[in-house]
Amino acid sequence: MTIEQVQDEIIEEFSLFDDWMQRYEYMIELGKSLPLIDTKHKTDDNIIKGCQSKVWVHADMVEEKMVFTADSDAVITKGIIAILIRTFSNQPPQDILDANTDFIDQIGLKDHLSPTRANGLVTMIKQLKLYALAYQTQLN
């Protein structure tokens, strides 16, 4: 599945909910299904700086595709990172670098986050793209 197909799937899923309380509940459920980061990777080096909550992200390259794992100490933030991991994991680094993230606006996520969480969301996306850039550089 391409990044765009995953994003379309997420947009469709979020459109099924009538209000933001239901969407928050869904994000919390997504966070619970997140493939957890191995405890050995829950280090200061893997914390995303600029997030209100603690968010750890680890990246590996498996068969020329990025595989991300993550965790957070806050349920909403864990849901946010789960959406991003679902979007970018198992994708080639160049596709991650080229991907736009307009789907976040389409599901209305940024509009329903506090300013600090919205900044954290942007920081999470930047970090995932930085991992992709590092691995893409290794491939070239």
Q: Is 51 a catalytic residue?
A: yes
> Of the residues 10, 51, 76, 121, which is catalytic?
51
* 5 CB burial (10 A radius; 0-12, 13-18, 19+): exposed
Question: Which residue, 50, 28, 47, is CA-closest to 37?
Answer: 47
23 three-state secondary structure: helix
Task: Give CA–CA dist 107/15, Å, rounded.
Answer: 7
Helix (H) or strand (E) holding 80: helix 75-88
* 27 CB burial (10 A radius; 0-12, 13-18, 19+): buried
Show which residues are catalytic: 51
